[in-house]
C-alpha cells in the first residue's frame, strides 16, 4: 500500500533553555549503542463524527502541540548522540534549538550514518478511514522500556487533557552519577561493540546502526494472551508437581516458562539442539544505592540463557 506524504514538520520542546545539556552514556546506555532503533506503533480509533478534514485541522495539530509539551518533560529525547574523536565514549547533547521530525502519512523509514545521530528519528501518523496509527522511532541508547512507556502515557494524557497525569512520576533526574557501576565495565563494553552488533568489519566508533537481518520466509509472529485464571492454574499445577515447599512463582516466570516450553516442543528437532532465551532485567532497585524512580535513562540489562532442548523435554516429561 503506497502512502502519500502530506507534510514534514519539526517539533521543538517548549522550554526556555539557553544552554546545551550534556549527558555522558553509562554502562546501561552503552549496551544499546549498536542496537537497532526501536520502532513502536500505536493504533487509535476515531469517533464516528470524525472526518478526514477534522483529523488534519484539529487532531493532528493537537498531537504535535502535545508532543512539544511532552518533550519539555522528556528533554533528552530531542537531542543527539555524538562521539567526538577526542572522547573515550559517546555522549548525548541537547541544544535549545533541537527538534523532532513529524511526518504526516509517513513513508518507509531508513537509518543513515552521520556525525550526530537523532535520538527520536520520526514521529509519524497514518490515517486510514476512521482509524489512525502513531509511529515512533527512537534510539534505545537514551531510554529503556519503562521511560518509553512513561513518555507515551504523558504524551497521550497531555493531548487529551492538556496536563500531566496527577501523581505521575516524571523522569527529571538525569545525573549519571547515580549509576554505581565500575568504570572498567564501560570500557569493556566499548571494546565489545563490534561483537555485540555482529558487525566486526566496521569502525566501532561509528554511530551507524548495523544492517538489518533479512526475515526468513518461514517466520511466524503471534500474540498470545494468558488470563489471570490461566496464570493461576499454571502456578497451582507447578506447585503441585514440585517437591519444594518454599517455591515462589512470579507471573513473569510462569508466563515465560510456559510459552518457551510450548515453542520448543512445537518446533521439535534434535533433542540436543541448542536453545537461547533472552529477556531484559530492570536493575533500578538492584544497584547500591538504588536508582531513583525519577531517573531518565537506561537501567536494564539483557540476560542471555543457553541450554539444550533435551533439558526442556526432560523437564516436561517428554521422551522426544
Per-residue pLDDT of the chain (320 residues; tens, 9 = 90+): 556 677 788 888 888 877 888 999 999 999 898 888 888 888 888 887 777 778 788 888 898 899 999 999 899 999 999 988 888 889 999 998 888 888 765 434 444 445 566 666 556 666 666 677 888 888 899 999 888 988 999 999 999 898 887 888 888 888 999 999 988 898 888 888 765 555 555 556 777 776 667 777 887 778 888 899 999 999 999 888 888 888 899 999 999 888 888 888 887 777 778 888 888 899 999 999 999 989 999 999 988 888 777 766 665 555 45
State the pLDDT at residue 107: 39
Q: What is the pTM of this model?
A: 0.79
Q: Please, what CATH class does the domain formed by 7-197 belong to?
A: alpha beta
Whether the domain at 7-197 and the domain at 228-316 fall into the same CATH topology: yes
Tell me the domain boundaries of the chain. 7-197, 228-316
Domain 228-316 has CATH 3.30.465.10: no
Based on the number of CB atoms within 10 Å of its own CB, is 304 exposed (0-12), middle (13-18) or buried (19 or more)? exposed
Q: Give the 3-state secondary structure of residue 71.
A: helix
Cell numbers at residue 47, please?
A: 469517533
The residue assigned the cell 497521550 is 156
Given a contact cutoff of 8 angstroms between Cβ atoms, the answer to whether 205 and 217 are in contact is no
Amino acid at each position: 500500500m503506497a502512502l502519500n506524504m502530506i507534510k514534514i514538520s519539526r517539533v521543538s520542546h517548549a522550554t526556555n533553555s539557553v544552554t546545551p545539556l550534556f549527558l555522558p552514556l553509562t554502562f546501561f546506555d552503552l549496551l544499546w549503542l549498536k542496537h537497532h532503533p526501536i520502532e513502536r506503533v500505536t493504533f487509535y480509533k476515531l469517533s464516528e463524527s470524525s472526518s478526514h478534514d477534522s483529523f488534519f485541522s484539529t487532531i493532528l495539530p493537537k498531537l504535535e502541540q502535545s508532543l512539544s509539551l511532552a518533550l519539555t518533560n522528556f528533554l533528552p529525547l530531542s537531542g543527539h548522540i555524538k562521539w567526538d574523536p577526542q572522547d573515550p565514549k559517546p555522549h548525548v547533547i541537547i541544544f535549545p534549538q533541537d527538534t523532532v521530525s513529524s511526518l504526516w502519512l509517513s513513508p518507509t523509514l531508513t537509518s543513515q550514518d552521520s556525525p550526530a545521530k537523532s535520538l527520536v528519528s520520526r514521529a509519524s501518523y497514518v490515517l486510514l478511514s476512521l482509524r489512525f496509527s502513531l509511529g515512533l522511532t527512537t534510539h534505545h541508547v537514551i531510554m529503556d522500556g519503562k521511560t518509553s512507556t512513561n513518555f507515551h502515557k504523558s504524551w497521550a494524557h497531555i493531548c487529551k487533557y492538556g496536563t500531566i497525569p496527577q501523581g505521575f512520576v516524571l523522569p527529571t533526574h538525569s545525573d549519571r552519577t547515580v549509576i554505581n557501576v565500575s568504570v572498567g565495565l564501560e570500557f569493556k563494553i566499548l571494546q565489545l561493540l563490534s561483537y555485540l552488533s555482529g558487525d566486526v568489519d566496521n569502525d566501532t566508533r561509528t554511530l551507524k546502526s548495523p544492517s538489518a537481518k533479512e526475515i526468513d520466509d518461514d517466520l511466524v509472529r503471534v500474540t498470545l494472551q494468558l488470563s489471570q485464571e490461566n496464570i493461576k492454574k499454571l502456578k497451582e499445577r507447578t506447585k503441585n508437581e514440585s517437591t519444594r515447599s518454599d517455591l515462589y512463582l512470579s507471573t513473569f516466570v510462569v508466563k515465560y516458562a510456559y510459552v518457551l516450553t510450548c515453542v520448543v516442543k512445537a518446533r521439535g528437532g534434535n533433542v540436543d539442539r541448542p536453545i537461547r532465551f533472552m529477556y531484559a532485567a530492570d536493575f533500578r532497585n538492584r544497584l547500591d544505592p538504588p536508582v531513583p524512580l525519577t531517573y531518565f535513562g537506561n537501567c536494564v540489562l539483557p540476560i542471555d540463557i543457553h541450554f539444550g532442548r533435551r533439558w526442556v523435554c526432560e523437564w516436561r516429561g517428554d521422551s522426544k
